[in-house]
Chain A
Amino acid sequence: MTKFLNHHPSSEMLVEFSAGTLDTATSICVSAHLHFCKCCRNEVARLNEIGAQLMYEAQPEAIIDNGLFDKVMAQIDQPQPAVENSREKTDISGFPTHVNKLLNDAQNTPVWKRLSSSMEVAKLFTGQSKFEVALHKICAGGVTPKHDHRGLEYTVVLKGSFSDEKSVYTQGDFIIREPGDVHQPMGAKNGECICLSAREAPIKLKSILGLILNPWLRVNPS
């Protein structure tokens, strides 16, 4: 399928992703974008060549203990533990594999909670403490409150599309928002929109209601 995506992670992020130095939550978002974007997948494949070549040229060459090969062979001959597969899985078709894995995490099953008449949220447990990672669902034509950001926020559209004052975002688009970026996302009229997001700090509502609610808004990285 040919897709035209307008919003990509920066090359710096792809470098850090390929080198493995990007934090877990951001990697989850970048990887979700790669699921949809062939162009960035190819760029990461080329970036991996740097790591491979640097590893290949490593000097001085390390000395390997004589026993290590035998240790590896001994482990290879051990029977593989059976993968438990008893639990029923509810994969959402078209979603990136790792997002489905988080949705199916038996120890921390995500729960959809209603935020407003047009929006639901399900927090995802990712085992890190920097970003709150969640899925947001906006109903068809749903309007969300106008807000600013108090920290970095990465969003990847997984299903449907939404728009704000700046652009229209479709499946696979990778969006970065920083403090000072004020917007009011609106779900497309033709169907619900589901986004993956990683948020460093709570949003800041711009409406009069924000005066009351803003001090109480929190993120819970997990």
Chain B
Amino acid sequence: MDKINQSAPKVAIFKSTEKRDDIWSVLLVEVGTSQDRSAFAQLFEHYAPLLKSFAQASRQDGWFPGLAEDLVQEVMIKVWQKAGGYNPQKASATTWIYTVARNCRIDMLRRKCNTQHLPLENEDFWHEPDEATPVSLLRQKRTEEHVKLSLEQLPQEQDEILRKVYLEGKSHTEASQELDLPLGTVKSRVRLGLHKLQILVAPEFKKELVND
């Protein structure tokens, strides 16, 4: 890690109400706009251990521990290559890097389990978040903060299932088999969790929200 620049992270330069000002998002923008290697080194130092933990948490069929560092490499290379497309108005660096990691993890598994030609990568299913407005940026930041605060307060049984789904990579059906619970119970715990995190939109409201 001798190449990593140990200087203090750059100070946030944006007003918090207008733009994303966490240092990681600022650094990611610098990588994207000027291929700044010292910014990339700081991102690597911060995110590589998190990405490795994420990879080690996987309990998907076909996944084995030896893949963890491969995933870190693959994700960080993608971060370097794709940083130019990162827009801090639309997502925090952490959320953006999570989506890259999730896509890489699925693609690595598919390649391991398939010898045939695969026409699509998981990235192809991914949609860029919509153009940010001051209102939507504020709303997005509120969701981030709310998820951060409320995740800690989720009842253990809801937290357990969300971790199984997001970290271990288990479907609802697999989670129900492993926890020896009816599928309906798993689904309702997920649903309760999402309500607590204020993420869910009831179907009857979808019609109005399309229009906002």
Min CB distance B186 to A, Å, is 9
Residues of A within 8 Å of B, CB-based: how many?
A: 71
Q: Cβ of A69: which chain B residues have Cβ within 8 Å of it?
A: 1, 3-4, 41, 44-45, 48
Q: Cβ of A107: which chain B residues have Cβ within 8 Å of it?
A: 117, 119
Bound Cα distance A159, B165 (Å): 34
Of the candidates B44, B165, B174, the one whose C-beta lies within 8 Å of that of A15 is B165
- Residue B124 is within 8 A (CB to CB) of chain A in the complex: yes
Q: Is A101 a contact partner of B143 (Cβ separation < 8 A)?
A: no
Q: Cβ of A49: which chain B residues have Cβ within 8 Å of it?
A: 95, 143-144, 147, 199
- Residue B172 is within 8 A (CB to CB) of chain A in the complex: yes
Bound Cα distance A195, B153 (Å): 43
For chain B residues 47-62, which have a beta carbon within 8 Å of chain A?
48-54, 56-57
Q: Is B165 a contact partner of A21 (Cβ separation < 8 A)?
A: yes
Of the candidates A45, A55, A68, the one whose C-beta lies within 8 Å of that of B69 is A68
Which of A28-36, A81-89, A162-170, A181-189 is the interface stretch? Answer: A28-36
Interface size bracket, B side: 35 or more
- Residue A208 is within 8 A (CB to CB) of chain B in the complex: no
Min CB distance B24 to A, Å, is 10
Q: Cβ of B37: which chain A residues have Cβ within 8 Å of it?
A: 73
Q: Is A11 a contact partner of B73 (Cβ separation < 8 A)?
A: no
- Residue A38 is within 8 A (CB to CB) of chain B in the complex: yes
Contact with A along B174-186 (1 / 0, CB 8 A): 1000000000000
- Residue A117 is within 8 A (CB to CB) of chain B in the complex: no
Q: Cβ of B51: which chain A residues have Cβ within 8 Å of it?
A: 55
Q: Cβ of A68: which chain B residues have Cβ within 8 Å of it?
A: 48, 69, 72-73
Q: Cβ of A47: which chain B residues have Cβ within 8 Å of it?
A: 194, 199
Of the candidates A34, A39, A56, A70, the one whose C-beta lies within 8 Å of that of B201 is A39
- Residue B102 is within 8 A (CB to CB) of chain A in the complex: yes
Which of A2-10, A140-148, A149-157, A199-207 is the interface stretch? Answer: A2-10
- Residue A105 is within 8 A (CB to CB) of chain B in the complex: yes
Q: Cβ of A178: which chain B residues have Cβ within 8 Å of it?
A: none
Residue of A nearest to B187 (CB): A12
Residue of B nearest to A49 (CB): B147
- Residue A122 is within 8 A (CB to CB) of chain B in the complex: no
Q: Cβ of A21: which chain B residues have Cβ within 8 Å of it?
A: 165, 169-171, 174
